[in-house]
Amino acid sequence: MKHLDEYRDAEIAHRLAAAIHSEAANSGRRYRLMEFCGGHTHAIFRYGIEDLLPANIEMVHGPGCPVCVLPTGRLDMAIRLAKRVGVILASYADMLRVPGSKGQSLMKAKADGADIRMVYSTLDAVKLAEANPDREVIFFAIGFETTTPPTALAIETAAKKGLTNFSVFCNHVLTPSAIAAILEAPAVRELGTVEIDGFLGPAHVSVVIGSQPYEFFAEEYRKPVAISGFEPIDILQSILMLVRQLNEGRAEVENQYIRAVTRDGNVRAKQAVSRVFELRRDFEWRGLGHIPYSALRLKDEFAAFDAERRFDEPYIPTEGIKACECPAILRGAKKPTDCQLFGRACTPETPLGSCMVSSEGACAAYYTYGRMREAAQ
Amino acid sequence: MNITSRPTRLAARRLDLAAGRVDLTHGAGGRAMQQLIEEIFRPAFDNPILARGDDQAAFDVAAGRMVMSTDCFVVSPLFFPGGDIGSLAVHGTVNDVAMSGARPLYLSAGFVIEEGFPLADLQRIAMSMGEAARAAGVAVVTGDTKVVERGKADRLFVNTAGIGVVPAGVEISGGRARPGDAILISGTMGDHGVAIMAQRAGLEFETTIVSDSAPLNGLVADMVAAVPTIRVLRDPTRGGLAATLNEICHQSGVGMRLDEAAIPIKSEVLGACELLGLDALNVANEGKLTAIVPATDAARLLSVMRAHPLGRDATMIGEVIADPARFVRMATRIGGERIVDWLAGEQLPRIC
């Protein structure tokens, strides 16, 4: 894997770490940097990147984990849809173990007899619908901008094929809205947030949307952004870029991930999304609350493929487990180890909160890769 | 009914091995079942104990310690690059027996067959099992077949059990790892699991990755003969190396420190894991082992392992340490540290 080895090279990592140390050591300030994306959180722990950073740089874990931010009420809807007679619910595997309300999950519903199939791509769900013309196939669509274009293509494909038994339960959400919510929404401020000095911008999301949407945050909120790849060298280099910007009083969008991200992103993917989807007036996020225009829904012309309109399944908001700190963790206000349930009642085997289920959730990353640090304290 | 039952020529016509399928009569205990045994299983496994045709296998018991192990095989797809459910069922149990340091001797084989299963596939799998057993130097001495209605099983399930004899002076158990011991592995990690996942329906993914499925008893025999002080042997199958090392830590009440850069992973396997969002340390192997030995014997054991074809890429990957929390820690390639944990649930691909 030559191409990957370059981005995991120990010598380059040590050189970057040394540069970060020399830039950050004598500034007399703290650097609180939020990696928005769960993929970055995962990589930071998997490679032990924090071990290479000076003590005055703190990585704050953001809400960029689609499994984690989906509110329980939406998962309950998916479970109810799956339990309908004649329905096949096609889902990405990540969703199966996420706890809904009352201890329910798709995995348990599957064991109870609901027909839930794991798919690796949206087109597999379309194929399922073709192969089962007497069944209703519902694709449980979740994710940020990375997974949205494939859902749009699946809907267009189903339309072109004239399928009448395929629909999408759409839970696609938008990255810029979540960043804005963290920075400005009064509701979020009331819930308590942390001061964030700069952002590590998402890798795959930015491949689609480009670097341009972040320019607003840099200008308006004076927060530097460095769009970063997922490899350890990418992350270290991006941290160095943010430290330099902060030391020099700059607040710009810098693109470390130039091998994949352009300013405009993937134009064709964005076009596919805008052909099929429109902004949803309101969407509830776990941890961030209701954020206006932060998610997508199917346009009226594709209403026949919209599971929410087709099956008239109501959204019933539910209260999460009281002691669960997922909401505060998703805002970066608390660390997983601040939660009383972490590692005791809530583990990857018995997850109570969404941040413990997804491998990209901050709690799962702490638990799986980093809990020796807590034990050492 | 038992597949060791008396050989008699009962059917007027031979099985249609080209186009025929298993039906419920093949499990009903009558002539059809007898014919299935006679024409498919007996030729594949042929050995003197099975040929006696009794309902049980009879053999002399060796002096000393014997070990026994059993394993069920439900792999999908049934045929994959580097093997099939038949060879896997032999290797899996041979290896479980061998991980005590024992010399595996005899296997049993049980088949649960779904109605409609092609006879040609059944024969191919039985032949592959027989071949794998002969190559490993073990005999399939007793067996059983059952046929279930369509939909009550997924094509074919196989169970094997194995018996082996432990050489005198060998004392191997997952509870014997001690701080300071060296941790060795016999080769690259993750080959089997990735080979299977790449084949799975719905995952159109082209790769040349071949399963490492192989019998490890020959390698183990060389190892215990040269270094009888080996404390732990285990084959990192389901859950991969991560699960195996965590099991050992829990059994022995110790921790471990690994060096990521020392763990060999084929570049194609690494590439596939990247695409699928998997960690190769959680992915199954079927022809690899991990050995824990006193550090003073590590170099000698390593050279013995490297002299065997199945241990060519053997290497030392870390050491056992004292740790009441029983963590498996790993120095990452870039110089950080992390835990290598058991896998929670099924290993799932990432979605973004």
CATH number, domain of B112, equals 3.30.1330.10
Query: Residues of A with CB below 8 A from B327's CB?
Result: 371-372, 375
pLDDT tens digits, one per residue of A84-142: 999 999 999 889 988 888 889 999 999 999 999 999 889 999 999 999 999 999 999 99
pLDDT tens digits, one per residue of B295-340: 999 999 999 999 999 999 999 999 999 999 999 999 999 999 999 9
Examine the fold and report which residue of B138, B166, B194 is the final residue of a domain before the chain moves on.
B166
A49, pLDDT greater than 90: yes
Residue numbers of A between 90 and 109 with CB closer than 8 Å to B? 92-94, 96-97
> Which domains are assigned to chain A?
30-321 (3.40.50.11740), 326-368 (no CATH)
Residues contacting A71, CB < 8 A, separation 6+: A284, A285, A286, A317, A318
- Tokens at residue B270, please? 């690494």
The predicted model gives A324-334 an average pLDDT of 85
Q: Average model confidence (pLDDT) for chain B?
A: 91
Q: Do B53 and B126 fall into the same domain?
A: yes
| In a domain? residue B30 | yes
Q: pLDDT exceeding 70 applies to what percent of chain A?
A: 95
Examine the fold and report which residue of B166, B198, B219 is the final residue of a domain before the chain moves on.
B166
| In a domain? residue B7 | no
Cα gap A255→A243, rounded to integer Å: 14
> Are A4 and B270 in contact (CB < 8 Å)?
yes
Under 8 Å between Cβ of B312 and B227 = no
pLDDT tens digits, one per residue of B180-234: 999 999 999 999 998 888 777 445 555 578 999 999 999 999 999 999 999 999 9
Q: Do B139 and B192 fall into the same domain?
A: no
| Predicted ipTM beyond 0.95 | no
> Are A48 and B337 in contact (CB < 8 Å)?
yes
Taking CA atoms, what residue in A is nearest to B341?
Answer: A368
Query: Residues of B with CB below 8 A from A93's CB?
Result: 346, 348-349
Q: What is the pLDDT of residue B350?
A: 45
Q: Do B37 and B109 fall into the same domain?
A: yes
Of the pLDDT bands very low, low, confident and very high (cuts 50, 70, 90), residue A187 is: very low
| In a domain? residue B303 | yes
DSSP A192: -
A60, pLDDT greater than 80: yes
A205 touching B (Cβ < 8 Å) = yes
Q: Do B291 and B240 fall into the same domain?
A: yes
| In a domain? residue B175 | no
Cα gap B37→B7, rounded to integer Å: 9
| In a domain? residue B158 | yes
Examine the fold and report which residue of B131, B166, B201 is the final residue of a domain before the chain moves on.
B166
A152, pLDDT greater than 70: yes
> Are B267 and A49 in contact (CB < 8 Å)?
no
Q: Do B51 and B150 fall into the same domain?
A: yes
Nearest Cβ partner for B352 among A49, A146, A364: A146
Q: What's the domain count of chain B?
A: 2
Nearest Cβ partner for A369 among B267, B338, B345: B338
> Are A48 and B351 in contact (CB < 8 Å)?
no
Q: Domain of residue B29: give its range.
A: 24-166
Q: Do B40 and B159 fall into the same domain?
A: yes
CA distances from A259 to A204, A255, A347, B82 (A): 12, 10, 37, 36
Q: Do B128 and B194 fall into the same domain?
A: no
Q: What is the pLDDT of residue A318?
A: 86
Cα gap A27→A29, rounded to integer Å: 5
> Are B352 and A50 in contact (CB < 8 Å)?
no
The predicted model gives A264-271 an average pLDDT of 96
Give the closest-approach CA distance of B346 to chain A in angstroms: 9
CB atoms within 10 A of CB B142: 22
Q: Do B265 and B131 fall into the same domain?
A: no
Q: What is the pLDDT of residue B128?
A: 98
Give B79 or A375, the one with higher predicted confidence.
Answer: B79
Q: Do B323 and B231 fall into the same domain?
A: yes
Query: Residues of A with CB below 8 A from B271's CB?
Result: 1, 4
> Are A52 and B334 in contact (CB < 8 Å)?
yes
| In a domain? residue B171 | no
| Type of residue numbered B107 | L
Q: Do B256 and B137 fall into the same domain?
A: no
CATH number at residue B250: 3.90.650.10
pLDDT tens digits, one per residue of A7-26: 889 999 999 999 999 999 88
CA distances from A275 to A143, A210, A278, A299 (A): 18, 18, 8, 8
Q: Average model confidence (pLDDT) for chain A?
A: 91
| In a domain? residue B187 | yes
Q: Do B144 and B192 fall into the same domain?
A: no
Q: Do B137 and B271 fall into the same domain?
A: no
| In a domain? residue B8 | no
